[in-house]
Amino acid sequence: MPKFLERKTLTKNIYFMESSCCTPEIVDLFTPKYDPERLGYTRTYDLKDADILIISGYTPEKVLHKIEKKYKELEHKPLVIAIGGCAIKKGPLNAPDINIPVAVYIPGCPPRPQSIIDGLVRGLKIK
């Protein structure tokens, strides 16, 4: 594909792996109160379109295995952000290891939407 046809937009698509106790915070993140779209973050439901992949809280082995498989198949690899105490192995649930390179860890049980936005901004700087 020629370079001028490549997608170069300011918006960043986020794919969420919602699980367990972190869900309410993530659901609230995309509500008008916090509104991450003002910073250029939108939500997708397809991993192929994702610029950022967020793994939150406790994810069972089956689901993690599926995501790792999909991640390896992707050409455009998204930035991975892990959210919650369980993902950092200091939470209440004994979560399995994430075998994908994680750029940013956001601590908290569960982390507030503000701290998730802060982590997203830091993640952009890395990329």
Partner 1 sequence: MKVFINYPFGNTELEARIRNKKLFSVKMEEGFNSRKILDTCLLHKEPLKFIPYLERIEQSSHNHYAVCFCSLIEKAAGMKVDYLVQVIRTIFLELERVYSHTLYLNRLFSYTENPVAINHTIAIKDALLSCFEEVTGHRMFGTNHVFGDMNFNISSGNIKFINATIEQTTLSLNKIKKIADNNPSMISLFRDSVVITEKNILDKKITGPFSWFKGLNQDARSTEPHFAYAEPDVQKKLEYRKIEQNCIYSRMWRIIYDVENSIKIVQSLLEKHSPVYQRKMVLEQPTLHKGEYSNKIESPRGIIGMDIEVDKNGIIAKIHVDSPSDINKKMLNDALNGTLVDHINLAFDSLYLSMMEIDK
From the CB of 17, what's the least distance to partner 1, in Å?
Answer: 6
Query: b or e along 42-58 (b: 16 or more beta carbons within 10 Å of the residue's beta carbon)?
Result: eebeebeebbbbbbbbb
From the CB of 66, what's the least distance to partner 1, in Å?
Answer: 8
Contact 81, 57 (CB under 8 A): no
Contact 14, 43 (CB under 8 A): yes
d(CA 7, CA 26): 26
Of the pair 54, 104, the CB lying nearest partner 1 is at 54
From the CB of 110, what's the least distance to partner 1, in Å?
Answer: 6
Contact 80, 103 (CB under 8 A): yes
Of the pair 20, 44, the CB lying nearest partner 1 is at 20
Of the pair 99, 127, the CB lying nearest partner 1 is at 99
Note the residues at the interface with partner 1 (CB under 8 A): 17-21, 23-24, 27-28, 31-33, 57-60, 62-63, 66, 92-93, 108-110, 112
Of the pair 27, 121, the CB lying nearest partner 1 is at 27
